[in-house]
Amino acid sequence: MSYSPSATRYDAMKYNRCGNSGILLPALSLGLWHNFGGVDNFETGRAIIRAAFDNGITHVDLANNYGPPPGSAEENFGSILKKDFTGYLRDELIISSKAGYTMWPGPYGDWGSRKYLMASLNQSLQRMQLDYVDIFYSHRPDPDTPLEETMNALHDIVKSGKALYIGLSNYHLPEATRAIKILKELGTPCLIHQPKYSMYERWVEDGLMDELEKNGIGCIPFSPLAQGLLTNKYLQGNIPEQSRAAKQHGALQASAITPKVLEQLNALNALAQHRRQSLAQMALAWILKDKRVTTVLAGVSSVAQLHDNLATLNNLNFTSEELSEIETILKVN
């Protein structure tokens, strides 16, 4: 089971510059929120990471709380790195982690204090057996901690060498604008913003993308497939056994699959077929059509899904008719 990465791993992937930075990210990145925890099959996760890297996916996204149980995705990823990514392969990877959601009990294991962010990153590094992460995110804004405290902690983390770059996640326009300004003044500019964005989640279009572009910051939208809704999985109206909606620990509620959503998904799927794409591919391409998007951050539960998603890059173009047809479908009540 020893791993030797494909010699052609950089041939087909498209790399986009992250804002004004020196960093290039693959058009498709891999998220480890689900399917890599202690409850999941370790070898499946390992095969997905290997297949991703073999196909030029150099960016893997984690957070302190990914699992379940929380922390186990980082532990498993650390073991995979240790087993498979030996020698200098670490230098071919951009690894991110985050802190901002509940991680340990008591007043210091959540939100955005300096105490929490610093302690959490130390724990993440231990779990992943790493000296540093490439990107460390404030996972969500904390309404009760001064933004200056959170941003100063991120700046000091970069100065300490435990992270190379800073990211913000789930910051809406007002707090993102303030945070970006503070980080710029501190001399540690924000590298990237990670917002939720899909055909079903459009808030970033109301000013955030413009703000990121204005400040030379990259964008990595998460849950682009609406956790699997925007795939061929639920089209018949039933919930397959191994799907996220069927899992007790899955964050996708079966109740999200309403008759209206099913009608929309089937109409979108017909359009995707017309484009000779799977619905997942069309949903990913739809995110990547915005040139301000650096990379799209999707999760997968199998190597087959990963290959399906990689083939998105074969057709990233939309006609204006296709785009307006998508809008019409999404307006169905």
Residues forming contacts to ligand NAP in the complex (CB under 6 A) are 31-35, 61, 139, 169-170, 194, 222-228, 231-233, 243-244, 280, 297-301, 305, 308-309
Nearer to ligand NAP among residue 61 and residue 75 (C-beta): 61
CA 133, 83, 308, 40 dihedral sign is negative
Q: Where are the beta strands (DSSP E) in the chain?
A: 15-17, 24-26, 28-31, 59-61, 94-99, 133-138, 163-169, 190-194, 218-219, 296-298
Nearer to ligand NAP among residue 158 and residue 283 (C-beta): 283
Q: Is 233 left (phi over 0), alpha (psi -120 to 50) or beta?
A: alpha
Nearer to ligand NAP among residue 204 and residue 298 (C-beta): 298
Nearer to ligand NAP among residue 113 and residue 231 (C-beta): 231
Residue 65 in tokens: 């709380």
Nearest distance, CB of residue 195 and ligand NAP, angstroms: 8
**Exposed, middle or buried, 197 (CB in 10 Å: 0-12/13-18/19+)?**
buried
Nearest distance, CB of residue 102 and ligand NAP, angstroms: 13
Q: Which residues contact 318 (CB under 8 A, 6 or more apart)?
A: 285, 286, 289
Q: Which residues contact 212 (CB under 8 A, 6 or more apart)?
A: 19, 176, 193, 218, 219, 292
Neighbours of 256 (CB within 10 A): 14
Nearest distance, CB of residue 233 and ligand NAP, angstroms: 5
Do residues 177 and 201 lie in contact, with contact meaning Cβ atoms separated by under 8 Å? no
CA atoms within 13 A on the CB side of 51: 18
Do residues 243 and 251 lie in contact, with contact meaning Cβ atoms separated by under 8 Å? no
Which residue number places its CB atom closest to ligand NAP? 31
Nearest distance, CB of residue 96 and ligand NAP, angstroms: 8
Nearer to ligand NAP among residue 81 and residue 225 (C-beta): 225
Nearest distance, CB of residue 229 and ligand NAP, angstroms: 8
Nearer to ligand NAP among residue 177 and residue 232 (C-beta): 232
Nearest distance, CB of residue 304 and ligand NAP, angstroms: 8
Helices (H), 55-207: 72-84, 114-128, 147-160, 173-186
Nearest distance, CB of residue 149 and ligand NAP, angstroms: 21
Nearer to ligand NAP among residue 56 and residue 228 (C-beta): 228
